[in-house]
Amino acid sequence: MDELLRVARLILDSNYMVVFTGAGMSADSGIPTFRGSNGLWNRYRPEDLATPEAFMSDPVKVWSWYLWRISKLSKVSPHKGYRVLKRWYEAGYLKKVITQNVDGLFRRVGIDDVIELHGYIERARCMRCGYRDIIYNLDRSSLPIICPRCYGLMRPDVVWFGEPLDRNVLDEAYRVAREADLMLVIGTSGVVYPAAYIPYIARDSGATVIEINPEDTPISDIADIRLRNGAEKSLVEIDRELKKILKGLER
Ligand code: NAD
Ligand code: ZN
C-alpha cells in the first residue's frame, strides 16, 4: 500500500495520536534549524549566547540577540502543515502536541495547550521572583528587561544549553508519550536529550511511530514508516489521503 495512504489509515484508526516536533517542523516557514546547513549556529556561537553564563556576563547582548530573533519571527507565519495539524486537532484526530521549538507557531495557528519542552521565546521570566510575562507586555525600551513586580533581572523563558528542563513539563511529555498509540515525529534530529527519549517511550508503550524528515536520524531505526519529504508537503499529502478515505466511506 502507498505509504501516505497507510499513514492516513493509521491516523483514522488511532485513539491517541501525538505529534512530536523539532526545528525542522518550522523550516518550511523560513525559520532556520540549528543543525541543518542553514542553521542559526553556523553564524553565531551558541556558547556565546544561549547559556546562563553568557547571560550573566552580558545580559544586554543576549537580550538583543533574542529580540532580533523575535523580530524575525514576526515576519513569518505557520505553513500549511501547521494548519493541517490544527484541523486534525479540532476534528479530534490529533490529541496532543509536544514540541522542542520555542517559536510559538503552534500557538499562532491556534493549538494552545502544546507542551513546550524548551520554553517559549516570546516570554520572559524573572530570575528573582519567577514572574512570567509575554515580552510585548514588558518595557523593552532599555535592556536588560527588568521585572515590573520586583525589579529583578528578567531572562528569556527558554531552556539554555546546560540547563535542565522543567520537571513538570517533562513529566507531562513522558506521560503523553506513554499514552500515545500513534506518534508522528516531525523534523527533529533526535540528538537533543532528554527530549529525544520521547519517541522511544512511545514505541516502548506500543505506539506506531512515523517519522517525517528529509534526512535519516537515530529515530529512523524505530520508525514504522519514514516519509522523506519536508513537513509541509508531507502533512498536506497525508491530509489529502485522509479526505479521500473519508469521502469513500461516506458514499
Ligand atoms: P535540529 O536543528 O537539531 O534538527 C532539525 C531536523 O529537522 C533535522 O533532522 C533536519 O533533517 C530536519 N529538517 C530540516 N528541514 C526539514 C523540513 N522541511 N521538514 C522536516 N524536517 C526537516 O532541531 P531539533 O531536533 O529540534 O533540536 C534542536 C534544538 O534546537 C531544540 O532544542 C530546539 O529548541 C531548538 N531550535 C528551535 C527552533 C524553533 O523554535 N523553530 C529553531 C532552531 C532550533
Ligand atoms: Zn520579579
CB 213 within 8 A of CB 24: yes
Ligand 1 centre and the CA of 96: distance in Å?
Answer: 19
pLDDT of 64 reads 92
CB 9 within 8 A of CB 242: no
35 lines ligand 1 (CB under 6 A): yes
Which triple of cell numbers denotes residue 149?
Answer: 513586580
Give the residue ranges of DSSP H helices in 74-196.
Answer: 80-91, 105-109, 167-179
Ligand 2 centre and the CA of 50: distance in Å?
Answer: 21
pLDDT of 84 reads 98
pLDDT of 169 reads 97
- Which numbered atom of ligand 1 lies nearest the CA of 34? 2
Domain spans, the chain = 1-31+78-118+165-251, 33-75+121-158
Distance (Å, rounded) from C-alpha 181 to C-alpha 188? 20
Write the residue with the smallest CA distance to atom 31 of ligand 1: 100
pLDDT of 220 reads 98
Task: List pLDDT tens digits, range 145-160.
Answer: 999 999 999 999 999 9
From the number of C-beta atoms within 10 Å of its C-beta (0-12, 13-18, 19+), residue 114 rates as: buried
Q: Which CATH architecture has domain 1-31+78-118+165-251?
A: 3-Layer(aba) Sandwich (3.40)
Which triple of cell numbers denotes residue 155?
Answer: 531572562
CB 23 within 8 A of CB 121: no
215 lines ligand 1 (CB under 6 A): yes
Give the residue ranges of DSSP H helices in the chain.
Answer: 3-13, 24-27, 46-49, 52-57, 59-73, 80-91, 105-109, 167-179, 198-204, 231-250
pLDDT of 232 reads 98
Q: Which CATH superfamily, name and number, covers 33-75+121-158?
A: SIR2/SIRT2 'Small Domain' (3.30.1600.10)
Residues of the chain with pLDDT under 70: 1, 35-44, 46-47, 250-251
> For residue 86, what are the contacts with CB-CB under 8 A and spacing of at least 6?
109, 110, 111
CB 133 within 8 A of CB 123: yes
